[in-house]
Structure 1
Amino acid sequence: MNWLTELIENPVITNALPEALVETLQMVAISGVLTVLIGGALGVILHVTSPAGLRPVRWLNALLSAVVVNITRSIPYAILMLALIPFTQWLVGTAIGPIAACVSLTIATVPFFARLVETSLREVPSGTVDAARVMGSTRGQIIRKVMLPEAMPGLVASVTTTLVTLVGYSAMAGLIGGGGLGRLAYNYGYQRWDPGVMLVIIVIIVLLVQLIQWIGDLIIRRVDHR
């Protein structure tokens, strides 16, 4: 058990790991909130302005779908992260650290989440929406009181999937100064070739993803009344 004692007493594990974990949670939390707010609104607009939506606007839907969503989603995160360094520096005053990493994380995941939201809203039965229209509900009321509640299980699943994706992206962000578990894994697990540190970080990331998925599944069961 000498290896376990050495691992527990490793300064990287005792001193640097807690701070790295906090930075990762910070990146996922901030980016997650921004993604849900911005991507959620974008997903609703995409669905509402689609040809079968409540207010079809073909040019706006095509513009948002092709330019904002599809193009951004097609750029690998590692490349997008590097390309956004000048913008990040201008926006937050620095290109390193967890706050700076939140810029690229948010921009990368907003289109992804928006498409998931659009898909969830599309699965709401058209009969339910038509019934609300017949009762005289406005478009805003249909969205708030019919479509979003009916699509809630799918929306929660979308949030869960997005947060899991953010955990992986945050580890990649650590490679260019974003901090967090990714930076720790690269600096100590790879560059200094410390397999113990790498193993601990992998286990923590796996547990974090499992926790997010478990919480998401629990909420889905609570909101799914079908």
Structure 2
Amino acid sequence: MPEVLVQYQAEIWQAIGETFIMVGVSILAAILIGLPAGTVLFLCRKGQAFENQVVFSVMNLFINVIRSFPFLLLVVFLIPFTRVLIGTAIGTAAATVPLSIIAIAHYSRLVEQALLDVPKGVMEAAISMGASLKELIFKFLYVEARSGLVLGLTTSIISFISYSTIMGVVGGGGIGDFAIRYGYQQFKTDLMVYMIVIMIILVQFIQFSGTTVSRWIDKR
């Protein structure tokens, strides 16, 4: 192992742990809130069985506004809200708030796109058989769109990792913040390069895993 990695081994593991915490909370927010939000967005859009232009317009506007923010500005803008919610605006826990919000907006849009790829005949068949709303969503829509939902989540996770590198602004830590503070600012280019390599390996692993799972569950 290169000497510089041995020297900063404890800090590197701490940075990796901080990245996993931030990304992990973002994934939970995307699944628990982003998935239902994207589903509601799909069901309420024009031409769908549960069309509701008011709900669709409000949710669509919210998602578009959040996604339009440059992420760094979003982090700064949400500092007062983060302080009220968490009790502090600094640290890894505080960093999960803006990451979770962008995760919800990001994944809900990908969920909507994945559900739009489901053939209309599936919806019509489910409704004609008297399926309840719960059955329509879980036994028809999600089953048909499961491959796209997994690929969308994979893409989102990679984006969350990229966003997490900015969280040093609010003391969130993580691999990106470590690379800047210990590598770039201290003129240790080799250390910064090693951190970039770690990020690349992590992203490649996630992409490979997501693509493999998507292919495995795609029964079309």
TM-score by length of 1: 0.93
Aligned residues of 1:54 and 1:139 also touching (Cα < 8 A): no
1:117 aligns with 111
What pairs up with 1:159-178 in 2 under 5 angstroms?
A: 159-178=153-172
Deviations 1:149-176 (A, max 9, x none): 1000000001100100000001111233
Distance in 2, Cα, partners of 1:190 & 1:82: 23
Deviations 1:94-133 (A, max 9, x none): 2222211110101112111111000101110011111111
User: Counterpart of 1:21 in structure 2: which amino acid?
Assistant: I
Confirm whether residue 18 of structure 1 aligns to residue 13 of structure 2.
yes
- Which one of 73, 82, 85 corresponds to residue 91 of structure 1? 85
User: Structure 2: which 5+ runs fail to align?
Assistant: none
Distance in 1, Cα, partners of 2:176 & 2:169: 6
Confirm whether residue 180 of structure 1 aligns to residue 177 of structure 2.
no
Identity %: 36
Aligned residues of 2:91 and 2:170 also touching (Cα < 8 A): no
Distance in 2, Cα, partners of 1:200 & 1:153: 33
Distance in 2, Cα, partners of 1:44 & 1:5: 48
1:53 aligns with 48
2:203 aligns with 209
Confirm whether residue 31 of structure 1 aligns to residue 22 of structure 2.
no
What pairs up with 1:52-201 in 2 under 5 angstroms?
A: 52-66=47-61, 68-201=62-195
Aligned residues of 1:98 and 1:179 also touching (Cα < 8 A): yes
Distance in 2, Cα, partners of 1:72 & 1:8: 38
Distance in 1, Cα, partners of 2:50 & 2:82: 35
Aligned residues of 2:95 and 2:170 also touching (Cα < 8 A): no
Distance in 2, Cα, partners of 1:96 & 1:206: 27
Aligned residues of 2:29 and 2:103 also touching (Cα < 8 A): no
Q: How many pairs align?
A: 220
User: Structure 1: which 5+ runs fail to align?
Assistant: none
Distance in 2, Cα, partners of 1:99 & 1:35: 17
Alpha-carbon RMSD: 1.2
2:217 aligns with 223
**Pair 1:75–1:5, CA change in 2 (3 A):** closer
Deviations 1:192-215 (A, max 9, x none): 111111011100111110111111
User: Counterpart of 2:134 in structure 1: which amino acid?
Assistant: G
**Pair 1:8–1:170, CA change in 2 (3 A):** closer
User: Counterpart of 2:49 in structure 1: which amino acid?
Assistant: L
Aligned residues of 1:31 and 1:102 also touching (Cα < 8 A): yes
